[in-house]
Structure 1
Amino acid sequence: MSTQTQTETIVLQARASTEAIPVEHETLDSSPPEPKWMYAKILSAGLSFFVAGVNDGSLGSLIPYVIRTYDIGTNMVAVLYGTTFFGWLIAALTNGKIVQYLDLGLILCLGAAIQVLSQVLRVWEPPFALYAITFCLASLGQAYNDTHANTFVSGLNGAHRWLGFIHAMYAGGCLVGPFVATGVASANIDSKWYLFYLFPLGVGVANFAFVGVSFRDRMATPTILRGEEGRSTASNSALKEIKEILSTPGVWLLSLFFFFFLGATITAGGWMVEYLVNVRNGDVKSMGYVPAGFYGGSFLGRLLLAEPTHRFGERRMIFIYTVLCVGLQLVFWLVPNIITEAVAVSLLGFFSGPFFATGIYVGSKIFSPEIRSSAIAFVFVLGQIGGSIFPALTGIIAGQVGVQVLQPMLVGLLGAAGVSWLILPKDTALHQD
């Protein structure tokens, strides 16, 4: 390992989202020290993911009402996913600069505040154009808040367990979201579905407050970044790190896995209700609860399968889960029975549950310590872009041939995720902790 100058070491520590020990002291057997107020910070990260889950998980149940309120087709729903994509894209382009000037706590607060703003703009049935813009704000806030919370947790001892917890909280938010959204939307003959957003607004404010309290020791602007000389040094270091990230094959391969996996799960969650209403002739007031089965399964899978996945080997187990998911998706597609489909969807959520946390954990092991923090953030954001593109693409195609295009789209995405996982680089350090 090449020797770093003292200035480079300070810059690296200031830019990292984790509270890890300096690189020159890191060995294969060393463990990062526990950060201050560690459990409060883990709970805060979990709440951040819960907020994101409520936002993401509720849209599928609301799409039928959005279509009818704004008198739009499924192709126009793609606009909502398109603006979500731009939020993640803006985050990908600005994240490198933000981490130079803001410490971890300030970045998390910024992300939480932007999410609160997006919910404030939604609660009064805004015009469709403004409603679409709020999805850009929500994804931008999630990118700053969840990406760095995710990276922080991935640097802790026993990271696979804590990652399983915070991603289970995301699934928990996705589970709660459809119940609340469907309950509010179906409460009156003249649906006031937009009042649902009072709920994510409330939990978003709680998230902002909890982040501010638990990460209050990470609110200072890094000293090394003050002054012209500090900014120049930080910029050079950041540019060098970005070049190393972009030249690392494992970064692109893991991003590809998340690109397809999130494309599959977010597409399924977003279009499942509309598919059951239009293709299976289900009642919209009842079908709005079906995504809760998917996210409930995902919640249990992230909690219960984290340890077996780690013990029996991440590479082997995730591939087995992928094969099971493809089989369950085929059942959902080919068996025209709503009850059978609801059960298949719940099991699909269960077996796909560990994918995200396991992928982040594997990334924390296969990336070198010098780029680990920023590489994981890069992978997270790039994967979320897939979760925006494919639901939008599904909506555009559905506008031409019908929403039944959902099923072949999901089978293809899950299969592509499995292939992407198999070609990830291997690493012998995966089970050392």
Structure 2
Amino acid sequence: MISPLVSTQFSQISRWSFVYLVHLGLLLVTLVMQIFAFKFQGQADCARAIGLPPPQSESSLLQRYKRVFCMRVVHLMALFAFVYVGVEVSIGSWIVTFVINLRHGGPNSGYIPSGLFGGLMLGRVALLPFSKLVGERRVIFVYILAVLGLELAVWQVESVVADAVCVAFIGIFLGPMFPIMTNHAGGILPPDLISGGVGWIASWGAAGAAVFPFVTGAIASKTGIKSLFPL
């Protein structure tokens, strides 16, 4: 959320490359917070500190991953993560080009991704009661339908302000999906396979973050950035 705000400011000055100093500063803050939170403790110590029994496993790491790879549900959730994170990152990375080229937005178009990622942060907190009320399995379909409707609005409504608002709401409804999925994984996987299973799922999410923006760019180079939202 912060990086697009900072980057937009630096993009309008001659020494725009100094923005990476700010990013490095943010990373250092994150590093200090991680050290303060976990104090270089292992998984067993962290579990014990919050009142959970430490993970028990008599099998080797290789054996645990073999069991993970034999579970069909893990691969289905990995596919979901691949598409979900790919969509999220594609919108966040290409929306500025979309708005500038098709909506004739100015330099302030760079702030729009902050709305998306701010929405992700807000949605993961604000929609917790709604997700619990509807049920985590059913509410995913509600969020997907909401995102589809908002995607269509951004694609068809030729207004920078309206598009920016819709993108922020896309972030709000996309936000809860990944935590719901990882929570679901924790509920259905055997305790000794949770870290391996969620790690496999999350790694496919990272793969989607790499593949989808690349595919979007490849298609856009031939058809134009207007293909972003249909894709």
TM-score normalised according to structure 2 size: 0.88
Match of 1:403 among 198, 221, 225: 225
Residues 171-228 of structure 1 deviation map (CA, whole Å, 9 limit, x = unaligned): xxxx211111101221x2x3x22211112211222322333343235269xxxxxxxx
Tell me how far apart the structure 2 counterparts of residues 206 and 346 of structure 1 sit (CA, whole Å): 26
In the other structure, the counterpart of 2:54 is none
Identical-pair percentage: 31
CA distance in structure 1 between the aligned counterparts of 2:85 and 2:77, rounded to whole angstroms: 12
The structure-2 alpha-carbon separation of the partners of 1:348 and 1:214, relative to structure 1 and needing over 3 Å to count, comes to closer
Give the corresponding residue for 1:265: 88
Amino acid at match of 2:166: A
Which of the numbers 206, 210, 216 marks the counterpart of 2:33?
210
Greater RCO, 1 or 2 (C-alpha within 8 Å, sep 6+)? 2
**SS at the partner of 2:75?**
helix
- Counterpart of 1:298? 120
Deviation at 1:370, TM superposition (A): 2.4
Distance 2:168 2:36 in 1: 36
Shift of 1:293: 1.8
**Which residue identity lines up with residue 268 of structure 1 in the other structure?**
I
- In structure 2, the CA distance between the partners of 1:253 and 1:401, relative to structure 1 (3 Å rule), is same
C-alpha distance 219-212 of structure 1, shift in aligned 2 (>3 A): farther
Once superposed, which parts of structure 1, at least 4 consecutive aligned residues long, lie more than 3 Å away?
Answer: none
SS in 1 for 2:220: helix
**Which of the pair has more CA radius of gyration?**
1
Q: Decide which of 387, 411, 418 is 2:209's aligned counterpart.
A: 387
Give the secondary-structure state (helix, strand or coil) at the position aligned to 1:271. helix
Paired residues in the alignment total 219
Q: Which residue of 1 aligns with 2:51?
A: none
Q: Does 1:289 align with 2:115?
A: no
Provide closer, same or farther for how the CA distance between residues 298 and 212 of structure 1 changes in structure 2, counting only shifts above 3 A.
Answer: closer
Instruction: Measure how far apart 1:275 and its partner are.
Output: 0.9
**Partner of residue 152 from structure 2, selected from 325, 330, 337:** 330
**What is the DSSP-based 3-state SS (H/G/I as helix, E as strand, rest coil) of the residue aligned with 2:191?**
coil
Q: CA RMSD in A?
A: 2.1
In 2, distance between residues paired with 1:217 and 1:383? Answer: 26
Provide Cα deviations, 1:268-307, integer angstroms capped at 9, x if missing partner. Answer: 0000001111122211x11111112222222221110123
Q: Secondary structure at the match of 1:336?
A: coil
Query: Which residue matches 1:183?
Result: 9
